[in-house]
Amino acid sequence: MAQQRASRFKSDIRIKPEKAKSRAPEPRMCEAPDCIGPGNCRVPKSPQNLQEYFWYCPAHARAHNEAWDFFKGMGDGDIQRFREEALTGHRPTWPLGKRAAKARMGQAPLNNVHDSHAMFAEDGDPTTVRRPERHLTRLQIMAMDTLQLAHNATLIEIKARYKELVKRFHPDANGGDRGAEERLKQVIKAYGVLRASGLLT
């Protein structure tokens, strides 16, 4: 029984036959004149011909590299331009900014796209404040009314009005006037409503 099992396993096991060993390639000889050393070092032929190579032994490859002058035959302007282009890896570059992008693209950066944040405005007039488009809840509207602000007031306007009203109704500025103190509480509560609702983030 054991002999049958062993013979079955022996017949089922397949051993991959060995491939015929390929002949090793002939060693490359150094291309330097009168050199019989192995040419296993590849060096480009010239700065103008970087795609073709000499095969040298280590000693001749070292001598070739030491005598290498990449800028041979270049004028001062060509060398300076090469150095400047090397800073960006010889890739194309262009000036930063919206106007430069427009000139580079040959047209306006956005075609038929609504630029609600005026990010691509031509000059970006700093005096013009963009009014936010928002839908307020009833509590937010009441808070805006308490702060005496338009419902589309900007974040900067809300914070500035809050600081102004706190200074105006603070007890130190009103000699302990109870009416001003009550008004201050309303201002602080209104500002808290706007901050809690995420309107000031």
Model confidence at 195, pLDDT cuts 50, 70, 90, reads confident
Neighbour-count burial for 68-98, b at 16+ CB within 10 Å, e otherwise:
eeeeeeeeeeeeeeeeeeeeeeeeeeeeeee
Q: Among 7-16, 65-74, 127-136, which stretch is predicted with the lowest mean pLDDT?
A: 7-16
C-beta neighbour count of 53 within 10 angstroms: 13
pLDDT at res. 135:
82
Q: What's the mean pLDDT in 19-42? A: 79
Neighbour-count burial for 151-160, b at 16+ CB within 10 Å, e otherwise:
eebeeeebee
pLDDT at res. 111:
55
In angstroms, the CA 38 to CA 20 distance is 27
C-beta neighbour count of 169 within 10 angstroms: 20
Q: Among 103-117, 143-157, 164-178, which stretch is predicted with the lowest mean pLDDT?
A: 103-117
Angstrom distances, CA of residue 187 to CA of 1, 94, 152, 177, 199: 99, 51, 18, 16, 16
Q: Among 14-23, 32-41, 80-89, which stretch is predicted with the lowest mean pLDDT?
A: 14-23
33-47: pLDDT as tens digits: 888 888 888 888 887
Is 116 or 177 the better-scoring residue by pLDDT? 177
Cβ atoms of 104 and 119 closer than 8 Å? no
86-144: pLDDT as tens digits: 888 878 777 776 555 555 555 444 555 666 666 655 544 555 556 666 788 888 889 88
Question: Please, what are the domains in the chain?
Answer: 138-196 (1.10.287.110)
- Percent share of the chain, pLDDT over 90: 6
pLDDT at res. 189:
92
pTM, two decimal places: 0.36
Q: What does the block give as tokens for 11?
A: 């017949």
Q: Count Cβ atoms within 10 A of the Cβ of residue 56 and give its class: 0-12 exposed, 13-18 middle, 19 or more buried.
A: buried
C-beta neighbour count of 174 within 10 angstroms: 15
Model confidence at 4, pLDDT cuts 50, 70, 90, reads low
Model confidence at 1, pLDDT cuts 50, 70, 90, reads low
Q: What's the mean pLDDT in 15-23? A: 66
pLDDT at res. 198:
80
